[in-house]
Structure 1
Amino acid sequence: MRLITPLLLCALLPLQTAVAAGVHQHGVAQLDLVLDPPMLAVSIRSPLANLVGFEHRPMSEQEQADWTSLQQQLQQAGHLLQLPAAADCSLSKVALHQPFKETDTHDAHSHSHDQHDHSSDDEYQEHADLMVEYHYLCADSAQLKQLQLPLMKHYPGIERLDVQLITPSGQHLSQLRQGETLLELP
């Protein structure tokens, strides 16, 4: 049974991404959580516009600065979710899924935009989503009764958070609105 839930997680997250990819709604983000003690996995997916105000590859210096800042913030799990200290969870992995194809390894904005070839399809895509995954190991998973989610406080473009949970008690759906930061775990 221990192997089934991690396999379910591996199957669920890409499926959720594929299904949700067709549903792109500004103001709405998705949070998927799988708890299989001692493992906790959380995936957050949002239209990029909710997070930085644009959905194309950063083109101006300000957009590039905002994009770089966002990536740094998302590497800090505590910026988006806070676990009870009593659960004694340690972050084991952060995976940020880039919404744009990497075209090269140097700073794409170290040159003039007049010289930049804007023929790339993903450069001007109408809708870009960003997904980040956090994996934890928790010494006392029984203490995971609620999470604090400052996500919408930090990113006011997110007006609603749709939540899907898989916990030892089963599958659950929940929803948080702007101003709500507490997620109860069944």
Structure 2
Amino acid sequence: MKHIFSSVAISALLCLALSPAIAHEAHVHGVGKLDVAIDGAQITLHLDTPLINLLGFEHAAKNTKDRAAAQKMALQLRNASKIFVTTPAAECRPISVKLASNAIDPILLGESPTPATKINATAKAAVHADLDADIVLQCENPHLLKTIDVNLFAKFKGFQKIDVQMVTQKNQLAATLRPSATLLSWE
């Protein structure tokens, strides 16, 4: 069943996905959650995943090896056009990438630390740490946008599946991506 969504509805979905007041759903290793909203020329993506899917560990980056792995992961996610490959003719480019984790220092993620993002001692000891990534892409030719190939599986071997919820101005859909099925298509 197709639904018509306005910018208000898309914004409401994004507010729910991006709200820090909403508790994370069950933490399952190998599983990520991706919310996608397409509104005109903008694609907004919100990835919520256990850190183990990205890094192979969930603890704070305490040593040189862990810090290097966290920085490498952050650089890969910040290169969002390689992770979320859109229809080439749509000419979509990342305009914003924000990364946050309760166990990784914001500086290692390429973020400026603020009082709200400082890691407390409890979070550092957390056994089940997550990463939230908020990415905005801007498309030059949004009318040509037909697909997004999600390359998280190729870059981060810890993913087994990604549950997707997507809303566009014309419809909404839910999908499950796997290493053998990475393409989101809505037309």
Which category of TM-score, normalised to the shorter sequence, fits these structures? 0.7 to 0.9
Equivalent pair of 1:144/1:185 in contact (CA under 8 Å):
no
For structure 1, which segment, 3-12 or 159-168, has the greater mean C-alpha deviation from structure 2 after superposition?
3-12
1:116-127 pair list within 5 angstroms: 120-127=121-128
Q: Could you give the per-residue CA deviations for residues 25-47 of structure 1, whole angstroms, max 9, x where no partner exists?
A: 00101111001112211111210
SS at match of 1:55: coil
Aligned to 2:172: 171
Q: Could you give the per-residue CA deviations for residues 108-134 of structure 1, whole angstroms, max 9, x where no partner exists?
A: xxxxxxxxxxx9111110111101111
Work out the percentage of aligned pairs sharing the same amino acid: 26
Which residue, 70, 80, 103 being the options, matches 2:73?
70
CA RMSD for the aligned pairs? Answer: 2.5
Aligned to 1:90: 93
Equivalent pair of 1:38/1:140 in contact (CA under 8 Å):
yes
Aligned to 2:134: 133
Gaps of 5+ in 1: 108-118
Equivalent pair of 2:6/2:169 in contact (CA under 8 Å):
no
**Cα shift at 1:101:** 6.9
Aligned to 2:12: 8
Q: Distance in 1 between matches of 2:21 and 2:160?
A: 20
Q: Could you give the per-residue CA deviations for residues 138-171 of structure 1, whole angstroms, max 9, x where no partner exists?
A: 2222222111111111111100010000112222
Query: TM-score, length-normalised on structure 1?
Result: 0.81
Aligned to 1:26: 29
**Cα shift at 1:185:** 2.2
Which amino acid letter does the alignment assign opposite residue 14 of structure 1?
Answer: L
Over 3 Å counting, the alpha-carbon distance change for 1:77 and 1:170 in structure 2 is: same
Gaps of 5+ in 2: 109-119
SS at match of 2:67: helix
Q: Distance in 1 between matches of 2:47 and 2:40?
A: 20
Aligned to 2:156: 155
Please identify runs of 4+ aligned residues in structure 1 that moved more than 4 A.
Answer: none
**Cα shift at 1:15:** 4.8
**Cα shift at 1:79:** 3.3
Over 3 Å counting, the alpha-carbon distance change for 1:80 and 1:101 in structure 2 is: closer
Over 3 Å counting, the alpha-carbon distance change for 1:68 and 1:106 in structure 2 is: closer
Query: TM-score, length-normalised on structure 2?
Result: 0.81
